[in-house]
Chain A
């Protein structure tokens, strides 16, 4: 393996990639579209109404009804009423609601005494919830019709609440990773058909060097796409992920491990693909079941038990689990096992693919 040749081919590959129309689209524009789409649907960062869960632990009163009317009249909120006695935290998690307001049992009597307290439930560090807190207090005051009363909030932190869009960030990163499968499944048979590998061998570029350069290229482009997704998620949709230096570093390791594994799968599939038509068939056959069964769009727990078994046999599942552990739950203990699985499987598949590629050359 010659690093100079690897970098030379990497630079060439990158240059030619930017000459295609689809390349920059899938690298930059597609992740932007993807994140804006998912963020708009599942985020609450100022786009559309914010959902709030409201629970009244005391008797109904004009003050409570007035507050609810003020929430609805503001046009800012979509109010979900939580039955008294139900755990509001569980309700918020189950319904992906970011803000909860509880009127305590003594609220009505307290407001009559010109000083009342409401409990305000939100994820720590949720900027949207912090911004909306004074707005909600004002609406409560307006709703009670009291000009002299004061309403205080008792803040209640709800860890692990997050937003729906938070859940999709690891999934979207996974989506960019498995695009490597598509690229390899198309590129390998085309290179074989056009005898590009033979021509590159005349430049002393061996197959392992080509693989290294190509994988490096996918690593760089995937990280660019992922930074775009992450950046839009944080800046536009205010995603509240567990961000720490070790977490980010570990996420990069997971992304690179996943890239190694999925590029190897694409390479192996590409070796058995003869033309563009069969490439499309093979790529989609691998891609879509993984996309729908690996917990990308919904939790694996909602699948029937036999499909859950299938899900745990799919490599994308481990990639998703690893990123969710890091980014959503700040839990690093399981991640090492998932990384080791992806790296070992990736190396094994790469070795097997290289062996097959050498054999096929002489057929």
Chain B
């Protein structure tokens, strides 16, 4: 698989602050690569260096074979960007914005079709200032697609959006993935990265602390699964439960399970005790649990 982005020992300093401290990674053609990390981890700085809007302090970066500090007009025609906190001219309409980008980038895309892709065609003549947060982000994505780019940077595309808008934009990203576009996604919604990304790199304090597919990261970093037992209402405080089950809330008990033997043994005990169980399931560790453990902080929700 060809490497579309290659980063080696990238550093970025702002005065005495070292925002990015020698990170290395690569992104393959056609994959969705996600950079995860808490606020201030260096995600956006890294992305902006790759996009060619910020200079690096040291290291080697190649994006589609270009050094982003020495890009020419062709680079912008091959790369689409949805920046963090996307904003544009307040009195422009989505249709006009797309016509401007398509004209300026000499693209052959149809602006109306692009608006259909992001489900914004009904708002094509509404001023940017009158669009909702989700609609603005959709326009930002449509702009990022206006040059039919092979590589698309999406920096926090769903940040601050309501669940419906978030799901809608996630669907757009799935569509892009199915079109074979290479997507560089930064997000603090771990469930989003887990669902959409082929590979993930977790960055913290300017360094990459782990990297792999979401499944690999979970497998590599998980310590245990959790057995969850919910009792029927009138048995909310059952004392005959097997040892190790700890009450987390009234009627709900949890217990770490590290092996199948442990699991079968507990289930056998519960069955023998004849306690009326309302629900019983095994909660597997996910990317969020791994992230919290690797980074040592709660995923940022700002």
Q: Find the residue from B89, B100, B104, B143 having the highest chain A CB count within 10 A.
A: B104
Interface 1/0s, chain B 21-60, versus A by CB < 8 A?
0000000000000000000000000000001011100000
User: Using Cβ atoms and an 8 Å threshold, which residues of chain A touch B87?
Assistant: 194-196, 199
Residues on A lying within 8 angstroms of B by beta carbon are 2, 4-5, 8-9, 12, 15-16, 19-20, 194-196, 198-199, 201-205, 361-362
Closest to A194 in B: B87
Task: Please give, as numbers and ranges, the residues of chain A lying within 8 Å of B104 by CB-CB distance.
Answer: 5, 8-9, 203-205
- Asked if B88 and A12 sit within 8 Å, CB to CB, the answer is no
Q: When the two chains form their complex, are residues B89 and A8 in contact, meaning their CB atoms are under 8 A apart?
A: no
Report A-chain residues with C-beta under 8 Å of the C-beta of B89.
Answer: 12, 16, 196
CB 8 Å contact bits of B88-124 with A (1 = contact, 0 = none): 1101100010001101110000000000000000000
A12-B100 CB under 8 A given contacts A196-B89, A202-B143:
yes
Q: What's the tally of chain B residues with a CB closer than 8 Å to chain A? A: 24
| B91 close to A19 (CB less than 8 A) | yes
Tell me, in angstroms, the Cα distance from A199 to B90 when the chains sit together. Answer: 13
Q: Are A8 and B53 in contact (CB under 8 A)?
A: no
Count chain B CB atoms within 10 A of each CB in A4, A12, A15, A202 and give the residue with the most: A202
Does B73 count as interface, using CB distance less than 8 angstroms?
yes
A-B contact pairs, 9 of them (CB 8 A): A2-B73, A9-B100, A12-B100, A19-B91, A199-B88, A201-B53, A202-B51, A202-B76, A362-B54
Q: Which residue of B lies closest to A190 (CB)?
A: B90
Question: Is B53 in contact with A361, judged by CB distance below 8 angstroms?
Answer: yes
Contact across chains for A15 and B73 when beta carbons are under 8 A apart? no
Q: Which of B55, B77, B91 contacts A204 (CB 8 A)?
A: B77
By a CB distance below 8 angstroms, the chain A residues around B100 are: 8-9, 12, 203
For residue A361, which residues in chain B have a CB less than 8 angstroms away from its CB?
53
Question: What residues on B are CB-neighbors of A9 within 8 Å?
Answer: 100, 104
B92 touches A196 (CB 8 A): no
Closest to B72 in A: A204
Docked pose: A4 CA to B53 CA in angstroms: 23
Q: Is B207 an interface residue (CB 8 A)?
A: no
> Does B83 belong to the interface (CB within 8 Å)?
yes
> When A5-B104, A205-B104 are in contact, do A16 and B91 touch as well, CB less than 8 Å?
yes
Top 3 nearest A-B pairs (CB, nearest first) are: A203-B104, A19-B91, A204-B76
B237 to chain A, nearest CB (A): 56
Nearest CB in chain A to that of B74: its residue: A204
* Whole-angstrom CA separation of A37 from B88 in the bound complex: 39
Task: For the complex, give the distance between the alpha carbons of A12 and B88 in Å.
Answer: 13
